[in-house]
Amino acid sequence: MGAARNPEANRWAAALVSAVLCLGAAVLLFARPVPSHSQEKEPTWSDQEKPIADRIAKLRATPDDQRGGATKTLALEIRRLPATPNKLALADHLAMLSTEGDFGHDMLQEVATTLAAALHEMPVPGRPHERIPQPYIELAQLVSYEHVKAQLDDPQFAAALAKMHADDARREQADFTLQALDGTPWKLRELGGKVVLLNFWATWCPPCRKEMPDLEALYGQYKSQGLVILAISDEDAAKVRPFIAERRISYPVLLDPGRTVHELFQIEGIPKTFVYDRAGKLVAQSIDMRTRRQFLEMLAQAGLQ
């Protein structure tokens, strides 16, 4: 995960943190940021909520060919729950897990509809000069990057959508120089004429590890056509080097231990991937783990076929 979020002093934060703790934070919070607070008690689940919470806790263990259907079913069941802080917490956490792969647009639409409905029933109070609450960010990411629809007349949702546009504009103009494990410096804006795929990852992140073999295969397939993959980690070389050697990753792995580039790209959860075409234009991005098919779709937007 990226930098931990500060706890939000509102009802949603307490409910979400409690729900996360009950669902098993050590298992579920690999890659997506949520508030944390060691003093929160586990929530009291209703008889309707408890089975749903238990199934969400086991969702990552569901086979990929069943996970889309299981997630869609959970979204529909959450939508039928009475309006409570627990309902919003469950809807938000399901949304965080829904983008970890290629489980179908219809499923993502149901998840977004459920989260929007939960926010409509129980809006999260906002405060000036504080972060936009995570459920609004999660919904805005689904709309902006997974191309689903959501109807929610809420100024904080509008602010979250505006944040997505502002973040993209910064990434469009971003430049950096980082050093690879082998000592080679890489400067983003010196890669004109290349298709550049930036992948933010970490050794401890299971979804990151899951997509690495596909990235390695794509690098082998397209590097002769000008594909450059730059994998960026905020960990130390002593941790990254043996991990990369064991998995025989051949694309460049860059180190950002001070998180300067992570902050430039607004990385708060991983994996995240950005694709620039040969003219340096940001043409595709993902907010979570991608499959090989999904990576191919992203590269096609940069002209690689």
**Mapped to the 3 state alphabet, what secondary structure does 101-129 carry?**
CCCCHHHHHHHHHHHHHHHHHCCCCCCCC
Residues 98, 128 within the same domain: yes
At 60-70, the pLDDT tens digits run 999 999 999 99
Residues 123, 15 within the same domain: yes
Considering only residues 115 and 305, tell me which one the structure prediction assigns the higher pLDDT: 115
Residues 23, 127 within the same domain: yes
CA pair distance 63, 5, nearest whole angstrom: 30
- Domain assignment present for residue 5? The answer is no
Residues 19, 128 within the same domain: yes
- Domain assignment present for residue 55? The answer is yes
- Domain assignment present for residue 6? The answer is no
In this predicted structure, the answer to whether residue 173 has a pLDDT above a threshold of 90 is yes
Range of the domain at 274: 177-300
- Average pLDDT value for residue range 171-185: 96
Number of Cβ atoms within 10 Å of the Cβ of 44: 10
The beta strands (E) that lie in 125-242 are given as: 177-180, 185-187, 195-201, 227-233
> At residue 283, what is the residue type?
V
pLDDT band at 41 (very low <50, low <70, confident <90, very high): low
Query: Last residue of some domain: 143, 168, 193?
Result: 168
Number of domains in the chain: 2
Residue pair 78/114 in contact by the 8 Å Cβ criterion: yes
- Domain assignment present for residue 91? The answer is yes
Mean pLDDT of the chain: 88
> At residue 170, what is the residue type?
R
Residues 269, 184 within the same domain: yes
At 25-35, the pLDDT tens digits run 333 333 444 33
Residues 119, 16 within the same domain: yes
Helix crossing, 155-173 with 134-145: angle to 10°? 60
The helix/strand count (H/E) of the chain reads as: 12, 7
pTM over cut 0.85? no
- Residue 182: is it exposed, middle or buried by C-beta count within 10 angstroms (0-12/13-18/19+)? exposed
**Cα 264 to chain center, whole Å?**
16
Q: Residue 223 is part of a domain; what is its CATH number?
A: 3.40.30.10
Residues 184, 295 within the same domain: yes
Residues 294, 185 within the same domain: yes
Q: Tell whether the torsion through CA atoms of 181, 185, 189 and 192 is positive or negative.
A: negative
Residues 41, 156 within the same domain: yes
